[in-house]
Amino acid sequence: MARRLYEWDYSTHPGAKRYPHLFTPIQIGNLTVPNRIKYAATEDNLNSHEGFVTDAGVAYMRKRAEGVVGGLCFMQGVYLDKARQGQGYVGQAACWDDKFIPGLKRIADAIHAERAVAGFQLMDCGRVGAVEVDYCHGPSAVPQRLRIFKPVQEMTKADVQAVVRQHIDAARRGVAAGFDMVEISGIVGYLISNFISSYTNRRQDEYGGDIRGRMRMVVEIIQGVKQACGPDIPVGIRLCSEELLDDVRGNTPAESMETYRIAEQAGADYISCTLGWQESIYPVISRDIPMGNWIHLAKRAKQHVRIPIQMAYRLFKPDLPNAKIGAGELDMWEMCRSMIADPLMPKKVLEGRENEIRHCVACNLCLARLFRDAPMTCYINPVCAHESNPEFTDPKPAQDKKRIMIVGAGPAGLECAYMAARRGHEVHVYDRRKTIGGTLNEARNAPYGDDELWTCVGFQQAMCAKHGVEFHLGAEVSEQLIQDELPDTVVLATGPVYPKLTVPGGDHPKVVYLLDVMSGRVPVGQNVVVYGNRKPGIGCALHLAKQGKKVTLVGRERSAGFDVNPSFKWRYLIYMRQAGINAYSDSTIEEVNEGGIIVKTYDGYRWPVNCDTVIVSEREANASLKQAVQSEGIELFVIGDALVPRNLSSAVHDGYRIGMRV
């Protein structure tokens, strides 16, 4: 008979009525899980350099455990070897010795404190590991496609058997620490996937050859871990349903489905359905990939195995997972980035508070930080990785209640507004526009998923309403208004300014400005120059290219997208090439004339570019109103692009921090 750790009754909650299939129990092995929700193992780099668990890591996990409302909550994957060849991140937790058990128990206890099921993941990062040593290990010494990774050293049979033993020993330690479920990581180019793939496994012994040979180590690990854990601890595995490595002769989809069948035969109690490698040239999780794009792979997997299938991958909202579970095409909804952005997302779904969800915008800043050996940070969630700091999670009520004027209803101003109001201040938000959102109104019109950025404004609007923020839209703030109102504090969140093009011909009628173009307020010719090669300029260039315009991008930065997260930048550059956008970097506009412009490079070369329209996307800090506020002796803060033009993340983080301290 299946055991049940905790009893949960969801019947009275509105979310359970709206999404009934998400909040029904499921049996995995000999364990009954109260619902179909899982926070999947996600690295956070919050552990010590030696691999020991920290207070920050425990607090981070407890908040996610609260969010799954009785579901599965997996801690990050642990590395297994003392030599650190399998370690993929400098802040990764370790489990190669019994001395790590007490720290791991802290995480299991934190998850249990929220009455959730505690999951423990085993992860050898293989050819994308060895972050602290000179060589990584793998089945064969296949050269790396990505230069950031270390040279691969081929494993001997003794090495393979040692890795099997490491998985078994670490699983035993996880059970001793109190975890309820064990998961084996075999995805994205980690060691197990290296053995499975025909791309990286060229061995001629029993651990190579056909798909069954390439799965031999995996079978030995599953069987050994199952034996070490005993009948009460389910053991699952994450496996690629498609490697997306066709260009280097990776596994076929049929071979990948065979790995699912072999894993089930070996005793796996569930499979987490994943796809893609870090070495794949195809995008998988960036926001240019539509929501739900990969869900058909879960259905295909269920046609090949009888054990439960779990899946994440661009499933940020509950409606599709609920429908697919109801249709029998999926068994559990996994979340990684969704619960980095909002750790309480499933709880808010259950309680009918979906308007209060801070949705992930698929920017991949969290991954970029990990790959650069920095603690996790979320683009859109300022509290991420600060869960152990009460100043961030539960700011104290303001001792002196103030009347605060926030000028600008963009993301920075809105974030600051609800935080300040939450702490007890009287908050008034002014904006000369008749709608909130600031320049995000225009930015959301850029292609390839940028409309998802607007979810930030939806969340902030709901929080402002909840905490009683008062809005004054269509209201221009002047020096006289400041003098009349005399607030205790003014927060300038007025966004950037777009300076005039101060070159010969800069006042030509063909010179227009970014916001007017992205809003559709001004017509644009067929041949266009966009001046400014940071994110706003790129978004504008792609927006126009999709309309069939011939676009040239000119900018001062050494490469286009200087301010774009590297994990996303490569997608933009590909789209620019596909659209035929000519990009001149390290360059300026020297002159505007009837025929077009003169481009000048950093080293003095000049040449003409014909165009009908020149669009200025360069931005500067907004100094307006500062003098007016300071002359009245009013407390002043400047945030977001008004301070320094940056990005949506900076606006949100600025607003949150000032809202905490004002």
Q: What is the pLDDT of residue 571?
A: 87
Q: Burial letters for 245-266: b for 16+ Cβ neighbours within 10 Å, e otherwise?
A: beebebbeeebbbbbbebbbeb
Q: What superfamily does domain 3-390 belong to in CATH?
A: Aldolase class I (3.20.20.70)
Chain-centre distance for alpha carbon 475: 36
Q: For 249, list phi and psi in degrees, rounded to 5.
A: 60, 45
Whole-angstrom distance, CA of residue 587 vs CA of residue 574: 21
175-207 pLDDT, tens digit each: 999 999 999 999 999 999 999 999 999 999 999
% the chain with pLDDT above 70: 100
pLDDT over threshold 90, residue 27: yes
Q: Which residues pair with 492 in a beta bridge?
A: 407, 638
Q: Domain ranges in the chain? A: 3-390, 395-497+621-661, 511-616
**C-beta separation of 419 from 659 below 8 A:** yes
% the chain with pLDDT above 90: 96
Q: What is 395-497+621-661's CATH number?
A: 3.40.50.720
54-98 pLDDT, tens digit each: 999 999 999 999 999 999 999 999 999 999 999 999 999 999 999
CB atoms within 10 A of CB 80: 27
**C-beta separation of 216 from 162 below 8 A:** no
Supply the pTM of this predicted model: 0.96
Query: What is the average pLDDT score of the chain?
Result: 96
Chain-centre distance for alpha carbon 300: 26
**C-beta separation of 300 from 241 below 8 A:** yes
Q: Nearest to residue 127, comparing CAs of 165, 95, 86?
A: 86
- pLDDT bracket for residue 517 (50, 70, 90): very high
**C-beta separation of 662 from 420 below 8 A:** yes
pLDDT over threshold 80, residue 1: no
- pLDDT bracket for residue 568 (50, 70, 90): confident
115-159 pLDDT, tens digit each: 999 999 999 999 999 999 999 999 999 999 988 899 999 999 999
364-412 pLDDT, tens digit each: 999 888 887 888 999 999 999 999 999 999 999 999 999 999 999 999 9
603-662 pLDDT, tens digit each: 999 999 999 999 999 999 999 999 999 999 999 999 999 999 999 999 999 999 999 999
Q: What is the pLDDT of residue 373?
A: 83
pLDDT over threshold 80, residue 567: no
Tell me how far CA of residue 268 lies from CA of 265, 301, 313, in angstroms: 7, 14, 21
Q: What is the pLDDT of residue 566?
A: 81
Whole-angstrom distance, CA of residue 542 vs CA of residue 576: 7
Q: Nearest to residue 404, comparing CAs of 482, 457, 335, 341?
A: 482
**C-beta separation of 232 from 31 below 8 A:** yes
- pLDDT bracket for residue 436 (50, 70, 90): very high
323-345 pLDDT, tens digit each: 999 999 999 999 999 999 999 99
Which amino acid is present at 604? Answer: G
Fold of 511-616: FAD/NAD(P)-binding domain (3.50.50)
